[in-house]
Each structure stands twice: as structure tokens, then as C-alpha cells.
Amino acid sequence: MKRWTLFALLVAGLIVAILATGWHTVDPGEVVVVRRFGRVLNGSWKPGFHFGWPLGVDRLSRLRLDEVRQLDFGRIDPAGPLDEPGSGEFLTGDRNILRLSGIVQFRVADPVAFVLQTEDFKAVLTRVTDASLARSVAARPIDSALREGRSELAREVSVSLVNSVERLGLGIEILGVNLTDARPPVEVEPAFAEAQSALSDRDRQIHEARSLAGKLRPIARSSAENRLDLARSESFRKSALARSEADRFVRLLAEASRSRALTVQTLYRDALRDLLPKIQRKILLTPEEPVDLGVIGR
């Protein structure tokens, strides 16, 4: 009897131990995709305690949805003997070769779709990234990719990569693409460095010229406004003087029509009064000279 009791206890303990292998804990921020005999169960396990088939019958794939993952793509160094020919090289729109490297940041969005992908997930994502990068690089010249167009190139690659990932159903969300380096092949890098230096000098000179223009433009505008004001003042002065002379001539014309002799005598005296102070000489005249000396006394 004792043997059967001991045997029953052993069997019960063994059953409990086997059943205990079916208990699993899912941590916060984590999900578990369960595959049983190769088939994915409906719904993934959320954080908490879950019971599955014991003895490892269920294959569990633990994923963190809040984890930001990254994939390095491209290369700057020349391809080695074990690398694919032309690895990391892309053809630009002006038929130059460009070497690029960067980082793709992503996170798991659909755990089931992510788990059902091929085991070599990084290789698939790398090829998709290279294809998106090749399309974007082929649409622009090399100078744009090397200089100010790099950020725009990264945005185009990110948009293209998002569409490709959704079409292939990789189960991930692309968070961003960052191009960390871009340079021409090593064989022609010195020539491109000189060209880039010349372009940088050109941009610097353009910037300095624009800065100088920004400083001189207000000065020139102020000088022009001052000249316009002086011209307006001179115009008003001459117009007023011309009107005064015209009025004087009209008055003289009216006086001449009434008494021509008196008007001529008045003009004669006015002319002498204006001219004699400028001569700065003494003039001796006899009483017989036809000059009216009375004007000098005036």
C-alpha cells in the first residue's frame, strides 16, 4: 500500500512539474507570439501570466514593441574580397559613383507578421533599403548628395522605405533614415575634395557678398533719399524763383505799357545798382557824361 502511495505521489509530482513548464510570464512592454506545431496562435500574449502547452511544445517569440531597433546599411570603405562587388556604391543622376552609409531606425508594429518573416530579416531589410536608396540617388546629381541635398535624400529614402515595408508586410514601422556619410570612390576622392573646396569658397564669397550687400543697401537707400530730398528742395527753390521772375516780368510789362520811358530808366538804375558794387573801382565822370549819378547816392 505504501508503495502505491509513494508511486502516486511521484506521478502527481511529475504531472505538476510538467504542467509548471506551461506557465509563462510576459513582462511589461513585451508581447509573446506563440507558435504551436508551426502554426501561429490567434492573438499574442500581453503582459501578465499565461499558460501554454508544457514541455516546450509551444514555441515562444518574445518581442518588445517599445524597443527602437536600427540597421546599418551601405559602406564607405572599398568592398573586400568577401563582399559583393559594388557593395555600398550607387549611381547618381549625372553618372557618378557615390558611396553611402547610414542607419535605419524602426520598431516592431505587427508582432505576428514580424515573426512570420524570413529568419534573415536584416538581409531583407538591407536589400529593400538599398533599392530605395538607389532610386533616390539616381534622381539627383552627385553634388546634391554630397552637400546640401543629403537631408532631402534621407527623407525620400524614408518615404520610399515605408511604402516598400508596408507592401511586403514586414511588420515593422520605419521611424527614420539617417545618412551618416557620403563620399565618392577612393580613386577620385582627391579631385572631388578639390571641387568641394572650390564650391565651399564660392558659397563663402556669395555669403560675404550678400552680407555686404545687406549692409550697403540701407546706406545707399539713405543716400538716394537724401539726394532726392535735395533735388526736390532745389526744384522747389528754382520753381519759386522762376515764378517770382515771371511775376516781376509781368509787372514790368504792365508798367512799360503805361510808361515805357520811366520803366527803361528804372531798369537802367537797377542794373547799375547791381553792377557797381562788383566793379570795385573808382569811376570819374564829368558832368557832361550821360550817366545819372543820382543812382549812386541811392
Q: What is the pLDDT of residue 288?
A: 64
pTM of the model: 0.56
pLDDT at 62 over 50: yes
Residue by residue, what is the 3-state secondary structure of 282-293? Answer: CCCCCCCCCCCC
**Backbone conformation region of residue 67, classed left if phi is above 0, alpha if psi is from -120 to 50, else beta:** beta
Between the alpha carbon of residue 17 and those of residues 34, 49, 56, the distances in Å are: 21, 17, 13
> DSSP string of 217-270?
HHHHHHHHHHHHHHHHHHHHHHHHHHHHHHHHHHHHHHHHHH-HHHHHHHHHHH
Higher per-residue confidence, 250 vs 194: 250
Count CB atoms within 10 A of the CB of residue 41: 14
pLDDT at 16 over 90: no
Q: What is the pLDDT of residue 223?
A: 87
Mean pLDDT of 93-103: 85
Cβ atoms 73, 129 nearer than 8 A: yes
pLDDT at 105 over 90: yes
The three cell numbers of residue 190 are: 582627391
Q: What is the pLDDT of residue 161?
A: 92
Res. 295 pLDDT band, cuts 50 70 90: very low
Percent of the chain with pLDDT over 70: 65
Higher per-residue confidence, 62 vs 177: 177
Three-class secondary structure of residue 47 per DSSP: coil
51-65, 160-174, 192-206, 218-232: least confidently modelled range: 51-65
Higher per-residue confidence, 168 vs 292: 168
pLDDT at 104 over 50: yes
Q: For residues 101 and 177, what is the distance between their CA atoms, to the nearest angstrom?
A: 11
- Give CA torsion, residues 15, 54, 62, 171, to 10 deg: -160
pLDDT tens for residues 20-43?
555 566 667 677 776 776 666 676
Higher per-residue confidence, 103 vs 145: 103
Average pLDDT, the chain: 76
Res. 192 pLDDT band, cuts 50 70 90: low
Mean pLDDT of 215-225: 86
Cβ atoms 172, 105 nearer than 8 A: no
Res. 286 pLDDT band, cuts 50 70 90: low
Q: What is the pLDDT of residue 159?
A: 92
State the DSSP H helix or E strand holding residue 199, giving kind and residue range, or none if neither: helix 189-258
Q: Indicate the DSSP class of residue 28.
A: T
Q: What is the pLDDT of residue 7?
A: 57
Residues paired with 177 in a beta bridge: 104
Q: For residues 111 and 79, what is the distance between their CA atoms, to the nearest angstrom?
A: 35
69-184: CATH architecture: 2-Layer Sandwich (3.30)
CATH 3.30.479.30 residue spans of the chain: 69-184
Q: What is the pLDDT of residue 298?
A: 44
Q: Which of 160, 161, 140 is nearest to 149 (CA)?
A: 140
Mean pLDDT of 220-229: 88
pLDDT at 133 over 80: yes
Mean pLDDT of 74-93: 70
Q: What is the pLDDT of residue 12?
A: 60
57-66, 112-121, 256-265, 286-295: least confidently modelled range: 286-295
Strands (E), the chain: 23-26, 30-36, 39-40, 48-51, 58-64, 69-74, 89-91, 97-108, 172-183
Q: What is the pLDDT of residue 100?
A: 85
